[in-house]
Amino acid sequence: MLENLAILPPLMGIAGLAAAYFVYRIIMAHDGGEGRVASIADQIHRAAMTFMARELRVITIFTVLIGVLVAYFIGWPTAVAFFAGAICSSAAGLIGMYTATKANVRTAVAAHKHGRDRALSLAFFGGSVMGLTVAAMGLVGIGGLFLLFIVWGVAGGEGDKSAYAIEGFAMGASIVALFYRVGGGIFTKAADVGADLVGKVEAGIPEDDPRNPGVIADNVGDNVGDVAGMGSDIFESYCGSQIATIIIAATMSLTAATGLVTRDMEEEAIRMALMFLPLALTSIGLVCSVLGIMAVRWASKLDPATALRVGTLGAAGLFMIAAFVAVQMLGLSWRVWAAVFIGALGGVIIGSVTEYYTGGKPVRDIGKSSRTGVATVIINGIAVGLESVVVPILTIAGIILASYMFAFEYGVGIAAVGVLATVGITMAIDAYGPVADNAGGIAEMSAMGKETRDITDGLDSVGNTTAAIGKGFAIGAAGLAALTMIKAFMNVVQETHGVRIGEADYIFTLDLGNPIVLSGIFLGGLTAFLNGSITMKAVGGAAFEMIEEIRRQFRDIPGLLEGKAEPDAERCVEIAANGAMKRLIFPAMLAVGMPLLVGFGLGAQALGGMLVGALICCVALALFMANAGGAWDNAKKWIEEDNEGGKGSPAHAATVVGDTVGDPLKDTSGPSMNILINVMAIWSLVIAPLLVPVAGWLQ
């Protein structure tokens, strides 16, 4: 039966792509503006695509190099999966961003000509294409490889062993995520900080003013960082958690596996059902996401926040019901479903906590502390960031314990899949933010007037909250995906090393009483902190180049400040792009190098310890950075709503500093933590069969 069912996920993926194309056609049918509007939009679109093309060139070189090494050392099926992963992830980012940079101007024009409802729909559709493409590309890729390698056995070898090869897919996605997310993050914040510091502070012109040479780059940054970057980040977690769960199903103890089925089945059938479940769930999740997206469209008459909530919660509820049916049909126990439920619930909790810390009382407290100056704004923001770590991490600890109690080691994996199953709509809502933000920028630059700007501001403010929730969600998802990959890593080391030394019942442990594991924990912790430092410095360096260039243009282009001459926006885009490409090399080397160095230099025990140490520090730092940054950003916005003196007051100046400090934290360093832990986890999983538990020289 499963052999026939297994054809469904890739087909669902293709249907999802068709749905995305359908949404894309709807967007394109709307008015794309003309004259100045169209030319600004086109400038953003072309610059974004140029930067992506540049990233893709470098990604291609890296991918071919690594792919050859993978084919040689691991095997050709893994290499094939690796290329597929890189292609699917690149394509999802490209398609999503291409659409977003078409939807932004249409949103602005709709706000101008038809009012809020249509603008909301368009911005949300713009994000939906990204969401649907991420979900669909994952299904096409993983579903296709599952069919090829596991069901049809194209790669040779036993069914469950050939599952390993699918890991390559997540590894390919990880390379793309490194470039898209870290490179995009540096690009966007270099442009943002540079444009703000010179434009708003030195020249005294408003945000998004067309005279500022850095404004186009800033708007491009929103797309490459928050649309394509975020998409590749979520794509990596989405694929990583599914693939790791498949591997856990292939390698978990038979006793535990048998405890999860309701019928009398052969071992192979049990494993097959457990291996197939992640794909079944994400297929269902895609359908629910499409329905959710339609619900948002219908609900667009309500206020934007409610409309988006109806869509997400509706999709999640529907998914839980359908998942229950799917679990029953596959002959699996309700216990498995309970683990999925726990994961999905945990995702909602983490998102809500993020919403509180970046939108609730803590934000007003930071705003009020501006009475005693900048220093107290910064101190309070740091305190809020530190505190915001607590509940999400408690939630993750709860998910680990509870999902294990229900479904043993399979539990954590399938819970992570549960968090991410309705990625189609959660990602859509996430990507809605930058589209709305861009629409506002275009409205300002092309002087569409206060009324239009009010509409786009309203959409943007909702987008800020959804983006913050999305960030919290992405961190939780990345953490759980990494956790699942770490568990799969342990299973693979145990199985392959057991075979190598001829002991079928060999047990690989990561005992904290073992000094090698313990020092691994410390190595992981320092990797996370080092990554934070180098990404912050990268933004600082790139922003500095940007500042110099904007100053130069204000100085050298006569009539620029008076609005009589055009700025050289392209030069700014190029500087941001160069700065980002140059500076992502070090974080990329860290993420890829550490697993290789520790794995081959010290062994699998140290590497396992390192992954766990990095996991806790990455998740905690990512939450701290994202939420402190988000809280500072919104404290500034709160002051701008005429609190504590409003715009132009000393309180405003103090919170502007907070916002600037938070920018690289929340949009570069914080997100890069998700990538770091996921890249390290997937690379470790791929090299696991080559490792010995403890390197010879340490024994």
Span 468-507, contacts to its own copies by CB under 8 A:
483, 486-487, 490
Q: How far is CA 642 from CA 367, 651, 654, in A?
A: 11, 11, 14
Binder among 171, 429, 550, 612 for its own copies (CB under 8 A): 612
- Cα(532)–Cα(449) distance, integer angstroms: 41
Q: Decide: is 624 part of the binding site for its own copies (CB under 8 A).
A: yes
CB of 685: closest distance to its own copies in angstroms?
A: 14
Structural tokens at position 259: 């405890």
19, burial (CB in 10 Å: exposed 0-12, middle 13-18, buried 19+): buried
**How far, in Å, CA of 17 to CA of 286, rounded?**
11
Choose between 294 and 616: whose C-beta lies nearer to its own copies.
616
* Distance from C-alpha of 669 to C-alpha of 537, rounded to nearest angstrom: 10
Instruction: At 625, give phi and psi (nearest 5°).
Output: -70, -45
Question: Binders of its own copies among 145-204, rule CB under 8 A?
Answer: 197, 201
Cβ within 8 Å of residue 388, ≥6 positions away: 353, 354, 357, 362, 623, 624, 627, 628, 631
The phi and psi torsions of 261 (rounded to 5 degrees) equal -110, 155
| Contact status: 515 vs its own copies (CB under 8 A) | yes
Nearer to its own copies, 85 or 520 (CB): 520
Shortest distance (Å) from residue 372 CB to its own copies: 6
Q: Please pick, from the candidates 118, 309, 537, 582, the single residue that binds its own copies as defined by CB under 8 A.
A: 537
CA distance 418 to 405: 16
Minimal distance, residue 376 CB to its own copies, in Å: 7
Contact status: 335 vs its own copies (CB under 8 A): no
Residue 405 is a binding residue for its own copies (CB under 8 A):
yes
Q: Cβ(16)–Cβ(288) under 8 Å?
A: no
Q: Which of 439, 656 has the CB closer to its own copies?
A: 656
Residue 665 contacts its own copies per CB under 8 A: yes
- Residue from 32, 157, 498, 540 touching its own copies (CB under 8 A): that is 540
Cα separation, 99 vs 271, in Å, equals 40
CB of 193 to its own copies, least distance (A): 8
> Distance from CA of residue 120 to its chain's centroid?
23
677 binds its own copies (CB under 8 A): no
Q: Site residues for its own copies, window 542-571 (CB under 8 A)?
A: 544, 547
Q: Please, which of residues 2-41 interact with its own copies by CB under 8 A?
A: none
Footprint (CB under 8 A) of its own copies, residues 199-228: 201
Q: Does 661 help bind its own copies (rule: CB under 8 A)?
A: yes
- The amino acid at residue 311 is G
Residue of 212, 245, 496, 660 interacting with its own copies (CB under 8 A): 660
User: Closer to its own copies at the Cβ: 49 or 616?
Assistant: 616
CB 373 to its own copies: min, Å: 7
For residue 674, state whether it binds its own copies (rule: CB under 8 A). Answer: no
Residues 116-145 close enough to bind its own copies by CB under 8 A: none
Site for its own copies in 344-383 (CB under 8 A): 369, 372-376, 378-380, 382-383
* Structure tokens that stand for 613 in this block: 């140490």
Minimum CB distance to its own copies smaller for 421 or for 654: 654
Q: Is 398 in the site for its own copies (CB under 8 A)?
A: yes
Quick one: 45 or 636, whose CB is closer to its own copies?
636
- Please state, in angstroms and as integers, the Cα–Cα distance from residue 126 to each residue in 20, 412, 469, 610, following that order: 10, 33, 18, 39
Question: Do 242 and 477 contact (CB within 8 A), yes or no?
Answer: no
Among 249, 412, 575, 691, contact with its own copies (rule: CB under 8 A) = 412
Q: Running DSSP on this structure, what letter comes out for residue 452?
A: H
Among 532, 567, 629, 693, binds its own copies (CB under 8 A): 532
Q: Report d(CA 417, CA 209) in Å as an integer.
A: 43
H/E run at residue 596: helix 585-602
- Tokens 């794995």 appear where? 599
Q: Is 404 in the site for its own copies (CB under 8 A)?
A: yes
